[in-house]
Amino acid sequence: MALHLPPDVVYRSLGASGVVVNLRTNQIFELNTTGARIWDLIAGGVPTPEITRALVEEFVVDPETAAAQTRQLVTDLVQHGLLQL
């Protein structure tokens, strides 16, 4: 699945976490450590299966949970207009 960052969306790292801001709507979406890492990987053009593998390697998480967390975050970001499919 190809994911695209809308031009009116910016991300700022806040240490291990971060925030995504839609400049058009002023909506702010806070990301925890895992969410911030997923965002970094998406922004780097990494496909979702590779995101899951990266999470398994970097965090104490099984592949099913990593895949579910990635899917949920992508769904939430798309629903809030912060990411496009």
pLDDT at 2: 77
Please state, in angstroms and rounded to a whole number, the distance separating the CA atoms of residues 85 and 57: 25
Whole-prediction pTM: 0.92
Please state, in angstroms and rounded to a whole number, the distance separating the CA atoms of residues 82 and 85: 10
Q: Which residues does the chain have with pLDDT short of 70?
A: 1
pLDDT at 60: 94
User: Which long-range contacts (C-beta less than 8 Å, at least 24 apart) are formed by 35-41?
Assistant: 35/73, 38/69, 38/70, 38/73, 38/74, 39/11, 39/73
